[in-house]
Amino acid sequence: MIMLPGPTNVPSRVMRAMLKPIINHRGPEFKELYARILENLRYVFQTKGDVTILTASGTGGIECAVSNIVQGANKILVPVSGFFGERLRDNIIAMGGKVVEIPVEWGKSVNIDQIEDIVKKDKDIKAIALVYNETSTGTKINCLREIGEFCNEHDLLFVVDAISVLGGDYLPVDDWHVDICVAGSQKCLMCPPGLALLSISEKAWSVIEKSTNTFYFSLKAYKKYEKEGQTPYTPAIPLYYALDEALNMIKEEGLENFIQRHILCAKAIYNAIERMGLTLFAEEKFRSNTVIAVKYPPKVSDSTFRELLRNKYKVVIAGGQGKLKGSIFRIGSMGMVTQAEVLQVIAAISMAFSDLGFKLNFDDSIAAVREVFKEK
């Protein structure tokens, strides 16, 4: 079992969908498949605007968003509170954009006042780009809606990296005034990795129109070909089939239930980890619903602990990234996660620590999981 912050466990319905026949991506079967996926993606993004699919990882989706706006909105405000915030910042710089950075302590998150202060002083800022759910620290921005409203009032473009969260937490892009939202197939959406998903607002198009610096990621090209029911470049057909099936499953469950299930599982994991006596990395009010970051007790080796977990208890979780390497571990709670997976990961963590000589409150931690699910 993999409890990574991506890739995640993929339901067998979704895996098997990849075996459907390879089709002509310029033919009628693809047109039908593509139209259905786009319609269902609109449901997940909660948008009436445009959505599109790229054959690329999430970082490719970010490069797409960035390269399509840097020419039209050159100075961009970027709060940075972790590895993926740094990556977003660096990507904007690589594509020729100017960045105004808000450095945020890892484990915390930006607040609306910091943003307002800077934007009011610097009239050249044309966009705000940020990571909603910082996978490297297990934090989320808890004022995303307010930032969106602020962007809307001040005519700023609002670009949101929601790669590790779309479907796992609330993010109605139209209501929250998100102009470009980027998600990945291999996180909450229960698909294999390989597709990046974007929503694009009407307001974003006026900026995108000015872009000439990308070809593979040109949103104008995607829009042009979409009129024919096609993608401009050959799509990864098996992954489209997988996404189609996963979106069908989300519709069957209902988006609200799907999000609530993520919230419940995360709550149970947080509850259990604290009851176990371990320390969470993220400050409470910024805790992510999809990535749970936990501090190692002193003198525990990350590689020893995670190898034990993997080899003896068959549970794969992630270590720290960037400057957090070795000091935290991260549990991904995304996609097809239920009480069963939560119990398994909590039990495995308890037992592995016990093997390493730590006396944690095993029974309490299991009880903590059950309490949360009973409440429901």
Residues that bind its own copies (CB under 8 A): 2, 4, 6-10, 15-16, 18-19, 22-27, 55-60, 62-63, 87, 90-91, 94-96, 184, 186, 192-194, 212-218, 232-239, 242, 310, 316, 318-319
CB of residue 220 to its own copies, shortest distance in Å: 11
Alpha-carbon distance 168 to 184, whole Å?
12
CB of residue 193 to its own copies, shortest distance in Å: 4
Q: Measured from the CB atom, is 23 or 300 closer to its own copies?
A: 23
What is the rounded radius of gyration, in angstroms, for the C-alpha atoms of the chain?
A: 21
CB of residue 239 to its own copies, shortest distance in Å: 6
Query: Which helix or strand (DSSP H or E) is residue 67 part of?
Result: helix 58-69
Q: Measured from the CB atom, is 96 or 254 closer to its own copies?
A: 96
CB of residue 257 to its own copies, shortest distance in Å: 24
Q: Which residues pair with 2 in a beta bridge?
A: 316
CB of residue 169 to its own copies, shortest distance in Å: 20
Nearest to 97 by CA among 60, 67, 131, 63: 67
Q: Find tokens 């005034």 and name the residue.
A: 177
Q: Measured from the CB atom, is 176 or 313 closer to its own copies?
A: 313
Alpha-carbon distance 278 to 324, whole Å?
17
Q: Measured from the CB atom, is 79 or 97 closer to its own copies?
A: 97
Strand spans (E) along 104-236:
125-131, 133-134, 139-140, 157-161, 180-184, 195-200
Q: Measured from the CB atom, is 195 or 372 closer to its own copies?
A: 195
Q: Other CB atoms closer than 10 Å to residue 32's CB: what's the count? A: 12
